[in-house]
């Protein structure tokens, strides 16, 4: 907000004037009302392995993060370029594997990767879309320096918080939106429904029937699953609601079974089909992969997209973008050390106190080490993990993440943030919702923004042109 500590940055100019005239007691009261609204609405998430209550509220900060139209244009171009490259890469590795033949990505990185699904080799998803919904995590280190922290192409979550954050701000501070021209995000559910419908299989007759597949109420993101189904006006189903009928996937209704054309699944690959993957899974649908391979249903995101989330593969994204687009990446990658490489591993072991180390298939902030914030005991314990399974980890330098203001009892204070814009991919278009989910490290000095690790969220405003 204060770019050079003396003057307010342009995007925050109108907000700063409004804030200066506001009574802090009123803002604090509105913050409490927002928390009560979240609690009443049931906007919670589950924390696995916690000794505390299973469900928690994600802390919500009432000071918006504001991005100018110019900054958003730059981000949007880079995000679209990256998403197109990811989709092309996924098609390639499940077909001709030209990028492997060209030596731009090591063969063993794919062949030995648990996220690579041999069952998808040769399969052509409807519309040749693998990544229907993508959440790209972006951090900022300078006025015009944006880095992609990771790609979430499997089952990206958090969009419900983006929508509810905006709804909450509209209720708490309606005068702000008449004063500041903010691009809306409310069209996301309609765009999601349209985008999924555009990827319907050839066997679809009439208006595509869409459903959301959830693992059930005990999943950490169940609120989001039910929220999106409700917002799209489609059915929320579990595995036991579905069955194979005449080569199609049908859901149980009060009037019998109805065919589904597009299934937006929030179930991981391994649990999707007990006949093809984990035989003990009770969450998926027996035989759904056979129906999918025969063109009887669209699964979004496509099975096998999880390899695009692999953090070891992430280090090759500049080569992937250039290979499939013929262009240099518009968004930068964070320098990454692959611990499977002996030279990289030696460097990481020597510099653990200065690095961030992550599991290649990790998510939610679990299983990671933030060196500068770790104790000597934690570092030594992680050193043993690295030596035991080096191929399971990557390491990155600690970035000087940008900060945005949060509201505290003492006034505005800086906290580190990242940004997860949400992208919808259809055969004829790519939609990027203006803004996304800003995750904020609520603890002073912390770099960990994940909600499972105590992080919060705030509304993200992209200004009109």
CA distances from 345 to 105, 106, 144, 289, 355 (A): 19, 18, 32, 38, 12
User: Is the pLDDT reported for residue 453 higher than 70?
Assistant: no
- pLDDT score, position 53: 45
State how beta strands 256-259 and 456-462 pair. unpaired
- The residue count of the chain comes to 465
User: Is the pLDDT reported for residue 375 higher than 50?
Assistant: yes
User: Is the pLDDT reported for residue 353 higher than 70?
Assistant: yes
- Give which of 154, 140, 231 is closest to 185, Cα–Cα: 231
> Tokens 């200065």 map to which residue?
354
Where are the alpha helices (H) located in 302-424, listed in sequence order?
311-314, 317-325, 342-350, 376-388
Confidence band of 448 (pLDDT split at 50, 70, 90): confident
**What does the pLDDT look like over 226-256, one tens digit per residue?**
999 999 999 999 999 999 999 999 999 888 8
Distance CA(403)–CA(414), nearest Å, equals 5
Rounded to an integer, the average pLDDT of 12-25 is 94
Cα 128 → chain centroid: 21
User: Is the pLDDT reported for residue 164 higher than 70?
Assistant: yes
> Tokens 């579990």 map to which residue?
238
Rounded to an integer, the average pLDDT of 54-76 is 89
| Conformation bin of residue 339: beta by default, left when phi > 0, alpha when psi is -120 to 50 | alpha
E strand or H helix at 84 = helix 69-93
Rounded to an integer, the average pLDDT of 269-294 is 95
Average pLDDT along the chain: 91
User: Is the pLDDT reported for residue 119 higher than 50?
Assistant: yes
**What proportion of the chain, given as a percentage, has pLDDT over 70?**
94
- Give which of 452, 444, 447 is closest to 397, Cα–Cα: 447
Tokens of 461: 């405003």
**Which CATH entry fits the domain spanning 337-397: 3.40.1160.10, 3.20.20.150, 3.40.640.10, 3.30.1490.270?**
3.30.1490.270
- pLDDT score, position 142: 84
Distance CA(214)–CA(268), nearest Å, equals 10
- Give which of 353, 396, 395 is closest to 374, Cα–Cα: 353
Rounded to an integer, the average pLDDT of 286-305 is 97
Confidence band of 54 (pLDDT split at 50, 70, 90): low
- Give which of 194, 96, 90 is closest to 151, Cα–Cα: 90
State how beta strands 429-432 and 133-142 pair. unpaired
Sign of CA dihedral 185, 186, 189, 192: negative
Ranges of CATH 3.30.1490.270 domains, the chain: 337-397
Distance CA(428)–CA(411), nearest Å, equals 47
**Contact 340/185 with Cβ under 8 angstroms?**
no
- pLDDT score, position 45: 59
- Give which of 117, 131, 83, 423 is closest to 300, Cα–Cα: 131
Rounded to an integer, the average pLDDT of 3-23 is 89
**What does the pLDDT look like over 408-433, one tens digit per residue?**
988 899 999 999 999 999 999 999 99
Q: What is the SS3 assignment for 144?
A: coil
**What does the pLDDT look like over 178-216, one tens digit per residue?**
999 999 999 999 999 999 999 999 999 899 999 999 999
Rounded to an integer, the average pLDDT of 316-338 is 95
**Contact 242/260 with Cβ under 8 angstroms?**
yes
State the DSSP code for 54: S
Rounded to an integer, the average pLDDT of 364-386 is 84
Peptide bond into 301 cis (omega under 30): yes
- pTM (two decimals): 0.91
Choose between 49 and 452: higher pLDDT: 452
User: Is the pLDDT reported for residue 51 higher than 60?
Assistant: no
User: Is the pLDDT reported for residue 50 higher than 60?
Assistant: no
Q: What is the SS3 assignment for 382?
A: helix
User: Is the pLDDT reported for residue 218 higher than 90?
Assistant: no
Other beta carbons within 10 Å of 77: 13
Following DSSP, what letter does each residue of 139-193 receive, concatenated? EEEETTEEEEEEEE-SS---HHHHHHHHHHHHHH-HHHHHHS-B---TTHHHHHH
Tokens of 453: 């690790």
Q: Who's near 262: CB < 8 A, 6+ residues apart?
A: 196, 197, 199, 200, 201, 208, 209, 210, 211, 297, 298, 300
> Tokens 């129906």 map to which residue?
291
**Contact 286/270 with Cβ under 8 angstroms?**
no
């Amino acid at each position: 907000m204060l770019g050079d500590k003396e003057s307010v940055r342009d995007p925050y100019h109108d907000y700063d004037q409004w804030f200066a005239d506001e009574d802090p007691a009123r803002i604090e009261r509105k913050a409490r009302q927002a928390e009560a609204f979240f609690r009443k609405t049931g906007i919670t998430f589950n924390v696995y392995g916690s000794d505390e209550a299973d469900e928690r509220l994600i802390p919500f900060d009432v000071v918006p993060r504001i991005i100018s139209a110019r900054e958003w244009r730059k981000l949007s171009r880079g995000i679209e370029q990256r998403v197109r490259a990811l989709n092309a890469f996924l098609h390639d590795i499940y077909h001709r594997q030209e990028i492997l033949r060209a030596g731009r990505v090591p063969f063993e990185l794919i062949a030995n990767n648990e996220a690579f699904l041999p069952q998808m080799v040769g399969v052509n998803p409807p519309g040749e879309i693998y990544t229907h919904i993508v959440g790209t995590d972006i951090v900022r280190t300078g006025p015009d320096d944006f880095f992609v922290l990771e790609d979430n192409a499997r089952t990206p979550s958090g969009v419900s918080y983006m929508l509810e954050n905006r709804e909450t701000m509209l209720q708490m501070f309606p005068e702000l939106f008449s004063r500041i021209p903010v691009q809306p995000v409310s069209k996301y559910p309609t765009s999601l429904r349209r985008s999924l419908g555009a990827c319907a299989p050839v066997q679809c007759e009439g208006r595509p029937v869409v459903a959301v597949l959830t693992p059930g109420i005990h999943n950490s993101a169940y609120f989001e699953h039910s929220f999106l189904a409700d917002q799209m006006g489609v059915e929320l189903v579990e595995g036991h609601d579905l069955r194979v009928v005449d080569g199609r996937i049908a859901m149980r209704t009060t009037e019998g079974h109805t065919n589904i054309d597009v299934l937006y699944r929030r179930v991981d690959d391994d649990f999707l089909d007990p006949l093809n993957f984990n035989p003990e899974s009770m969450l998926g649908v027996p035989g759904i992969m056979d129906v999918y391979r025969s063109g009887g249903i669209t699964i979004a995101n496509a099975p096998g997209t999880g390899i695009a989330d692999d953090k070891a593969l992430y280090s090759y994204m500049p080569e992937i973008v250039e290979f499939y687009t013929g262009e240099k990446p518009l968004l930068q990658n964070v320098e990454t050390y692959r611990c499977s490489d002996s030279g990289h591993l030696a460097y990481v072991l020597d510099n653990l106190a200065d690095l961030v180390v992550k599991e290649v298939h990790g998510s939610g902030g679990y299983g990671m080490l933030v060196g500068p914030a770790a104790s000597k005991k934690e570092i030594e314990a992680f050193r043993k993990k690295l030596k035991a399974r080096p191929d399971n980890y990557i390491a990155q330098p600690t970035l000087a993440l940008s900060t945005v203001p949060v509201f505290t009892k003492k006034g505005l204070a800086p906290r580190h943030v990242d940004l997860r814009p949400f992208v919808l991919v259809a055969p004829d278009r790519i939609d990027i919702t203006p803004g996304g989910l800003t995750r904020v490290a609520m603890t002073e000095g912390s770099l960990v923004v994940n909600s499972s690790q105590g992080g919060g969220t705030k509304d993200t405003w992209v200004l009109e042109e």
